[in-house]
Amino acid sequence: MACNLLSKKTSYIILNPIISVYNYTKYKNILQMHNNKDFKNITNTVIEAIQDRKGQSITAIDLTEIETAPAFSFIVCQGRSTSQVAAIADNIREEVHKKCGIKPYNYDGYRNSQWIIIDYGSVMVHVFLPEFREFYALENLWGDAPATKIPDID
């Protein structure tokens, strides 16, 4: 699992030699969230925020048993237009901050809003346009992980 390579001058830890080096603070927060099961609270809040903006085809992928996964959970969904994709991503960021008190470590993709990714450390959210979701097929990439399809709200 983790190799403790902390020194007084650096704050880095190697999670897995294949993955690379993570910032120790992020790693500590991820472990704390995982141990406290807070990532499930984040996951539920994200799903509610997606449904609130009429996001479609929501899939929650549980990556907790995959040692080399970059997060404990992936949530993948889609919007019908670039405007809706951006609105879904904005609502996710607002609701998670309001309900969980957590801001994302990073997010990207707003420039063209075809695929927006939001990184909460333990949970990574992917909001796609349908054609980009089909092209990248993240659900197939993590096919050995259990996936839960969330019904659309009409």
Among 126, 26, 21, which residue's Cα sits nearest to residue 79?
126
Confidence at residue 30, expressed as pLDDT on a 0 to 100 scale: 55
Neighbour-count burial of 37, counting CB atoms closer than 10 A to its CB (0-12 exposed, 13-18 middle, 19+ buried):
exposed
The number of residues in the chain equals 154
Q: What is the pLDDT of residue 19?
A: 40
Same domain (yes/no): 24, 67: no
The domain total for the chain is 2
Residue-range definition of the domain harbouring residue 131: 37-150
Provide block-wise average pLDDT over 10 residues at a time, the chain (154 residues): 35 40 49 59 94 96 87 94 98 96 94 96 94 94 91 86
The HSE-up count of residue 70 (CA atoms within 13 Å, CB side) is 15
Q: Are residues 103 and 142 in the same domain?
A: yes
Do residues 7 and 81 share a domain?
no
pLDDT of 27 reads 54
- 31 and 42, same domain (yes or no): no
Q: Which residue in 34, 64, 82 sits closest to 145, CA to CA?
A: 64
In this prediction the pTM is 0.77
**Judgement on whether residues 26 and 80 belong to the same structural domain of the protein:** no
Q: Are residues 128 and 89 in the same domain?
A: yes
30 backbone dihedrals φ, ψ, rounded to 5°: -65, -45
State residue 4's pLDDT score.
Answer: 34
Distance CA 6, CA 43 (A): 30
- 145 with 120, same domain: the answer is yes
Q: Are residues 59 and 24 in the same domain?
A: no
Same domain, 113 and 128: yes
Same domain for 57 and 85, yes or no, is: yes
